[in-house]
Structure 1
Amino acid sequence: MTRTSSVVILGGGPGGYEAALVAAHLGASVTVVDRDGIGGAAVLTDCVPSKTLIATADYLGDMGTASELGVHLEDHEGDVATRTVAELGAINERVLNLAAAQSADIQTRLTEVGVRVVAGAGRMESPSRVVVETDAGSETLDADVVLVSTGATPRVLDSATPDGERILTWQQIYALPEIPEKLIVVGSGVTGAELAQAYLGLGTDVTLVSSRDLVLPQEDQDAAAVIEDVFRRRGMTILNRSRMAGAQRRGDGVVVTLEDGREVEGSHVLIAVGAVPQTSGLGLEDVGVDVSESGHVVVDRVSRTSVRGVYAAGDCTGVFALASVAAMQGRTAMAHALGDAVAPLRMSAVSANVFTDPEIATVGVSAADAEDNTDIEAVMMPLSRNPRAKMLDIREGFVKLFAYRGTGIVVGGVIVAPRASELIFPVTLAVQNRLSVDQVASTFTVYPSLSGTVAEAARRLHPLRPE
């Protein structure tokens, strides 16, 4: 590719805008076609809004437990304040304003590096031509490289059609004017669990409908057990091994009917049962791009599709529904397409986080993988023994590390703790760079610190010499 290569990107989410920044840096002429707003769902309706809402609930929870540390609020007459109140209208206004500001910041950065942003919907007419429908009409864009990064949208069930008022998807909850009196959350995966706890923290009576034995069935089971225990102790009702048959409005509320005939009544219901890729209407099949039965674009480890010059990134590929993975796919795609140095995506080094309280952060192999591989050993240490955790009144959580026997190479880890998303980084560095437990253990940590338990876990995995 030459420095005058033209790149057209369909979708302005993390995969799209990160790809645009790389392509512009490499000298390409870049156009991003986006219909919903730069930043995509990750910034406007999913990651940024939901984590802002969760952070607000966490803050409210911290205020509620401060008395255990000997701290309380008083009014101006010296009376102890016994109740904090969440104003959802003000909270949601801040959430949406923050998301809009982040979107604007990203668009400003794109403009600064010369990326053209077109508001509209694009469709591939050929592997090197995209037709864009805008409010002003249609426009045809020729391209040397096309990146499809159109994301995914909440799965909608015919038996529980969202109305934006009482039956909601996770993209619609920020229009609620008041705290729901009784919220039923259907789906105990990451999105369902995070938002269930957020609303519980804001003062809502929450019932979580989970089809599995534990919430968060795809996560480390020790970690999921901690989270479910926390949920129950804080007052959440959890219906394990229960499946929704349907949801409908009844009077001023809703009723969720379970497959066994039980009915659960509430004021609102949040449907969080997965997402579907937004790949229809893009002309992909017409130009020969392979799409799976689930509707995901099929890609390899450098984000190539089955058609030369056409790449794809993000949730529309089904590789791993994380903004960080989408961004890495987009950057990798442009580096490969424009002739820069590139390393194939390593899924074994992807770190992920569940933003419950405490959080669950993971990287590398799982406990299930370790159980099936006798060459891997594990150690798990509770955070309750950590001096910094005691100071912060952290009572739940642990650090778990996985390493190869003999060599001690770190291959994975799980951290359950407040801000586990920050604590997992040294473990991710170890996995990415194939560091040994001895290298991790011999690295200085601050005393006292939660990260000290990561080093201690590594010390406990020190390979023993054969007798």
Structure 2
Amino acid sequence: MQSHYDVVVIGAGPAGEGAAMKLTKEGRKVAVVDARQEVGGNCTHVGTIPSKALRQTVFNIMRYQRDPLFQRVGELRNVPVSQVLARAKNIIQEQVSVHTRFYDRNRVDLHHGQATFVDPHTLRIKTLEGGKELVTFDQAVIATGSRPYQPEDIDFKHPRVFDSDKILSLDYPVHKLIIYGAGVIGCEYASIFVGLGYKVDLINTQNQLLSYLDDEIADALSYYLRELGVLIRHQEQYEKLETFDDCVVMHLKSGKKIKADAILWCNGRTGNTDTLGLENVGLTANSRGQLATDRQYRTSVPHIFAVGDVIGYPSLASAAYDQGRCVGAHMTGTGDMEHVDDVPTGIYTIPEISSIGKTEKQLTEEKVPYEVGQAFFRHLARAQITGETVGMLKILFNRDTLEILGIHCFGNNAAEIVHIGQAIMQQKGGGNSLKYFVNTTFNYPTMAEAYRVAALNGLNRLF
């Protein structure tokens, strides 16, 4: 029997869920198709949730190792990742249960299987049991996410060659690891594995880490990764990779050879569009499997939209969910959601990085008269109490109007701290002023107090 829906959403990750929930609440009959047996997408099963759970466990180990009362925790070093990730499996199942209830409560039909377009209004689903279903639809949302990019000349089936999905199944001890690619994922895993006691060579194809960050924050990340023990090699390109039973050897175009127990490839991602049958609806993905959309996330086919990692930047779960809700608003005509632009950056290295707004370099190029307010965590009572004294909060503001232009944070809980600044930046009618932080009483001792300290520091620079 063939079913018909107002909207079919392909993908049950954050983007697909955001679209489905918005659409069904506006009265649309919605089906969600996902290739897994459980909802949550890559974010829940192989991406954000397990990697951040792993990070938290490693962070806890590193914290206890600094305390002489907990020296025995050091015995956990060099254990296989699969053992450290045991806790993450429980978190994944809890997340799956929570999000499954969302679909049940909102009466969204879930189909588990591989979706392929037959024509512009028909979808064929190859179920996990091997059967086939056909569904028809008026509109569709592609939210299939992405997967790690794999060059054809590297054998990812080899037991010592990993990408950012496969690395979570690492089941043997590693003493030295090569990480190729120093983007967000590469930097996060570099800090995680060095925290587990691995020797880490981080190969960066660029001349600095995460160049889109504020220069001072990017420099701080480089410094503390090196302090942890990461060897960073800038402006290097791989030539070939040799694999052996007991090691790998990476040959770089500069002539260097690096031997290690394993390699983690973190150089780019590919949109999951190759099995969708896009040619049957008149769509073409780019060389990285990504789809182009307009400001309403509409593809070149008017009734088909795309959101999340499958459209590329910013490739964040937080942005993907809001993009999905935005699509739902455009489809239903409610108009209560705008294009997702002002997205905070959250990088879960050890320590964390988070920022929103302009960098010093951008403001200088735009000739904006800005000033800087800083608060170093080592001076804050709460940081001294917790022992997490590495880091800083940096506020960029217009020296004439005191309007806040950028918030940049490096240190423990940076991804939480940044939201205070984000909320004030988005106030209208002059409410986004540095004076808010000077005239507001913060709990003491807290990390939030960093905003008052940074604001006073910035005002003291004015004349």
Structure 2 equivalent of residue 76 of structure 1: none
1:230 is matched by which residue type in structure 2?
Y
Change (3 A) 1:452 1:82: closer
Q: Is residue 362 from structure 1 mapped to residue 359 from structure 2 by the alignment? A: no
Give the secondary structure class of the aligned counterpart of 2:277.
coil
Deviation at 1:463, TM superposition (A): 11
Give the secondary structure class of the aligned counterpart of 1:424.
helix
Aligned match of 1:452 in 431, 449, 452?
Answer: 449
**What CA distance in whole angstroms lies between the structure 1 residues aligned with 2:286 and 2:72?**
57
Of residues 264-273 and 217-226 in structure 1, the stretch that sits farther from structure 2 once superposed is 217-226
Task: Tell me, yes or no, if the aligned pair for 1:440 and 1:455 is still in contact at 8 Å.
Answer: yes
Structure 2 equivalent of residue 154 of structure 1: 148
Task: Tell me, yes or no, if the aligned pair for 1:380 and 1:398 is still in contact at 8 Å.
Answer: no
Q: Is residue 22 from structure 1 mapped to residue 22 from structure 2 by the alignment? A: yes
Aligned match of 1:96 in 83, 89, 95?
Answer: 89
Give the secondary structure class of the aligned counterpart of 1:83.
helix
**What CA distance in whole angstroms lies between the structure 2 residues aligned with 1:116 and 1:164?**
39
1:35 is matched by which residue type in structure 2?
A
Give the secondary structure class of the aligned counterpart of 1:336.
helix
Task: Tell me, yes or no, if the aligned pair for 2:373 and 2:457 is still in contact at 8 Å.
Answer: no
Give the secondary structure class of the aligned counterpart of 2:66.
helix
Deviation at 1:5, TM superposition (A): 6.7
**What CA distance in whole angstroms lies between the structure 1 residues aligned with 2:394 and 2:31?**
44
Structure 2 equivalent of residue 40 of structure 1: 41
Task: Tell me, yes or no, if the aligned pair for 2:11 and 2:145 is still in contact at 8 Å.
Answer: yes
Runs of 4+ in 1 over 6 A off after TM superposition: 463-466
Deviation at 1:344, TM superposition (A): 1.7
Give the secondary structure class of the aligned counterpart of 2:390.
coil
**What CA distance in whole angstroms lies between the structure 1 residues aligned with 2:222 and 2:334?**
46
Structure 2 equivalent of residue 373 of structure 1: 366
Task: Tell me, yes or no, if the aligned pair for 2:7 and 2:139 is still in contact at 8 Å.
Answer: yes
Task: Tell me, yes or no, if the aligned pair for 2:16 and 2:141 is still in contact at 8 Å.
Answer: yes
Give the secondary structure class of the aligned counterpart of 2:55.
helix
1:360 is matched by which residue type in structure 2?
I
Of residues 97-106 and 408-417 in structure 1, the stretch that sits farther from structure 2 once superposed is 97-106
Task: Tell me, yes or no, if the aligned pair for 1:445 and 1:452 is still in contact at 8 Å.
Answer: yes
2:346 is matched by which residue type in structure 1?
N
Change (3 A) 1:82 1:131: closer
Deviation at 1:303, TM superposition (A): 1.7
Task: Tell me, yes or no, if the aligned pair for 2:174 and 2:262 is still in contact at 8 Å.
Answer: yes
**What CA distance in whole angstroms lies between the structure 2 residues aligned with 1:270 and 1:64?**
26
Deviation at 1:456, TM superposition (A): 2.8
Q: Is residue 189 from structure 1 mapped to residue 190 from structure 2 by the alignment? A: no
Q: Is residue 301 from structure 1 mapped to residue 295 from structure 2 by the alignment? A: yes
- TM-score normalised by the chain length of structure 2: 0.91
- TM-score normalised by the chain length of structure 1: 0.90
**What CA distance in whole angstroms lies between the structure 1 residues aligned with 2:200 and 2:433?**
44
**What CA distance in whole angstroms lies between the structure 2 residues aligned with 1:126 and 1:231?**
50
1:370 is matched by which residue type in structure 2?
L
Give the secondary structure class of the aligned counterpart of 1:103.
helix
Aligned match of 2:210 in 199, 209, 216?
Answer: 216
Aligned match of 1:287 in 277, 281, 292?
Answer: 281
What are the Cα deviations for residues 276-312 of structure 1, in whole angstroms up to 9, with x where unaligned?
1112232334423464454321122332222222111
Change (3 A) 1:346 1:119: closer
In the TM superposition, what are the counterparts of 1:7-406 in structure 2 within 5 Å? 7-36=7-36, 37-67=38-68, 72-73=69-70, 81=72, 83-86=74-77, 87-88=79-80, 89-134=82-127, 135-163=129-157, 165-289=159-283, 291-292=285-286, 294-347=288-341, 349-381=342-374, 382-406=376-400
Deviation at 1:462, TM superposition (A): 5.0
Task: Tell me, yes or no, if the aligned pair for 1:189 and 1:218 is still in contact at 8 Å.
Answer: no
**What CA distance in whole angstroms lies between the structure 1 residues aligned with 2:373 and 2:388?**
17
**What CA distance in whole angstroms lies between the structure 1 residues aligned with 2:238 and 2:304?**
40
2:18 is matched by which residue type in structure 1?
E
Aligned match of 1:428 in 414, 422, 432?
Answer: 422
What are the Cα deviations for residues 258-286 of structure 1, in whole angstroms up to 9, with x where unaligned?
11121111111000001011122323344
Deviation at 1:464, TM superposition (A): 10
Deviation at 1:120, TM superposition (A): 1.2
Structure 2 equivalent of residue 77 of structure 1: none
What are the Cα deviations for residues 183-219 of structure 1, in whole angstroms up to 9, with x where unaligned?
1111111101111111111121212112233333332
Deviation at 1:229, TM superposition (A): 1.4
What are the Cα deviations for residues 407-453 of structure 1, in whole angstroms up to 9, with x where unaligned?
22223211001010110111111233351222343232112222112
**What CA distance in whole angstroms lies between the structure 2 residues aligned with 1:192 and 1:323?**
17
Uncovered stretches (5+) of structure 1, i.e. residues with no partner: 74-79
1:131 is matched by which residue type in structure 2?
R
Number of aligned residue pairs: give it: 452
**What CA distance in whole angstroms lies between the structure 1 residues aligned with 2:175 and 2:119?**
52
Give the secondary structure class of the aligned counterpart of 2:85.
helix
Uncovered stretches (5+) of structure 2, i.e. residues with no partner: none
Give the secondary structure class of the aligned counterpart of 2:441.
coil
Give the secondary structure class of the aligned counterpart of 2:76.
coil
Structure 1 equivalent of residue 435 of structure 2: 438
Deviation at 1:47, TM superposition (A): 0.5
**What CA distance in whole angstroms lies between the structure 2 residues aligned with 1:332 and 1:360?**
27
1:411 is matched by which residue type in structure 2?
L
